[in-house]
């Protein structure tokens, strides 16, 4: 068996890939075809967290897709680089993924983006999102009649306007739709999806490689645990995102 490279040799994602590739190969263990949407104002961690854990499934077949190739600025200014555009994206995908972010309302109104998502979703094995990415899927008509989740600030107010049934869970599977709650839920989403694609042991190995064993310093990850004062502060930060998402959903 080939030597497994050390962490000094390669990054965490590549290390995960090499570790998992060393396991017995199953008939279905071909590279997974994944397309992850980038757009101005996305939340970078919505993309980077899942990408880190799913990259080992998709050596050479994970694409970061945007309207045009090149750098795309996130909602905090960090840029991610799209390696392909809508026309160049593979037509048949195993996983179509949409992140959330402050740019969500604009994407909910963007005809070209919505048309791209509808086309690829029509053939994708899994249609997925993290955070307010579910609102973009919903604006494309892809959550009509599905159970779904989103960031807590918009989940119950906006998803019903898009034909979805809101569910207050970290990750929600409904047929081939997989939606995750706010930013940090992207890691849970990626592990849950990896388990569906390659089995529980694969996902457990990826979790261990990432040392994903969260112990947050505060119990403030939901309005219920944070309390009314902290929730009010968070709602002020999120006000424009919520108002813009509501307006975009109501305008459909």
Check whether domain 31-250 has CATH 3.40.50.880, yes or no: yes
Tell me the mean pLDDT in the region 176-188: 98
- Give the residue ranges of DSSP H helices in the chain: 12-21, 44-54, 104-108, 111-121, 133-139, 152-158, 185-198, 200-209, 223-226, 228-250
Whole-structure pTM value: 0.89
Residue 181 CB partners (closer than 8 Å, separation 6+) = 131, 149, 150, 151, 152, 155, 169, 170, 171
> Cα(245)–Cα(248) distance, rounded to whole angstroms?
5
Domain ranges of the chain: 31-250
CB-based contact 77:44 (threshold 8 Å): no
**Spatial separation of the C-alpha atoms in residues 114 and 41, rounded to whole Å:** 16
Burial of residue 112, with CB atoms counted within 10 A of its CB: 0-12 exposed, 13-18 middle, 19 or more buried: exposed
Report the pLDDT averaged over residues 164-171.
98
Name the catalytic one among 15, 34, 114, 131.
Answer: 131
Asked if residue 105 has pLDDT above 50, the reply is yes
Q: How confident is the model at residue 131 (pLDDT cuts 50, 70, 90)?
A: very high
Give the least confident one: 3-12, 53-62, 210-219: 3-12
The β-bridge relationship of strands 79-82 and 70-73 is antiparallel
Which two tokens mark 18? 């090499």
Average pLDDT (108-121) is 98
Q: Kindly tell me the burial class for residue 59, based on how many C-beta atoms sit within 10 Å of its own C-beta (0-12, 13-18, 19 or more).
A: middle
Look at residue 229 and tell me whether its pLDDT is greater than 50: yes
Would residue 131 show up in a list of annotated catalytic residues for this protein? yes
The Cα–Cα gap between 232 and 223 comes to 9
In the prediction, which pLDDT does 4 show?
41
* 107: its two tokens: 């994407």
Decide: helix, strand or coil at residue 11: coil
Strand partners, 70: 82
> Which is it for strands 34-37 and 62-66: parallel, antiparallel or unpaired?
parallel
Question: What local confidence, expressed as pLDDT, does residue 30 receive?
Answer: 83
- Say how far apart CA 89 and CA 23 lie, in whole Å: 30
The predicted pLDDT at position 6 comes to 42
Phi, psi dihedrals of residue 105, rounded to the nearest 5°:
-55, -40
pLDDT tens figures, 190-199? 999 999 999 9
Measured CA to CA, the distance from residue 120 to residue 20 in angstroms comes to: 28
Residue 18 is predicted with a pLDDT of: 42
- What pLDDT shows up at residue 63? 98
């Amino acid at each position: 068996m080939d030597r497994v490279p050390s962490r000094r040799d390669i990054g965490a994602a590549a290390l995960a890939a090499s570790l998992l590739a060393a396991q017995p190969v199953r008939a279905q263990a071909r590279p997974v075809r994944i397309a992850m949407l980038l757009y101005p104002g996305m939340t970078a961690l919505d993309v980077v967290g899942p990408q880190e854990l799913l990259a080992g499934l998709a050596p050479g077949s994970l694409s970061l897709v945007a309207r045009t190739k090149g750098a795309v600025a996130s909602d905090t200014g960090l840029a991610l680089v799209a390696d392909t555009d809508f026309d160049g994206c593979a037509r048949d995908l195993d996983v179509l993924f949409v992140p959330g972010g402050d740019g969500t309302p604009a994407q909910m109104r963007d005809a070209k983006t919505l048309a791209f998502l509808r086309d690829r979703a029509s053939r994708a094995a899994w249609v997925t999102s993290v955070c307010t990415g579910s609102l973009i899927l919903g604006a494309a008509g892809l959550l009509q009649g599905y159970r779904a989740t989103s960031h807590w600030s918009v989940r119950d107010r906006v998803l019903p306007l898009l034909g979805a049934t809101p569910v207050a869970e970290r990750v929600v599977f409904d047929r081939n739709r997989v939606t995750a709650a706010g930013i940090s839920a992207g890691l849970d989403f990626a592990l849950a999806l990896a388990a569906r694609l390659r089995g529980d042991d694969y996902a457990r190995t990826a979790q261990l490689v990432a040392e994903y064993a969260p112990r947050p310093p505060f119990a403030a990850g939901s309005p219920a645990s944070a309390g009314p004062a902290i929730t009010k502060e968070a709602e002020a930060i999120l006000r424009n995102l919520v108002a813009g998402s509501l307006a975009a959903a109501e305008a459909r």
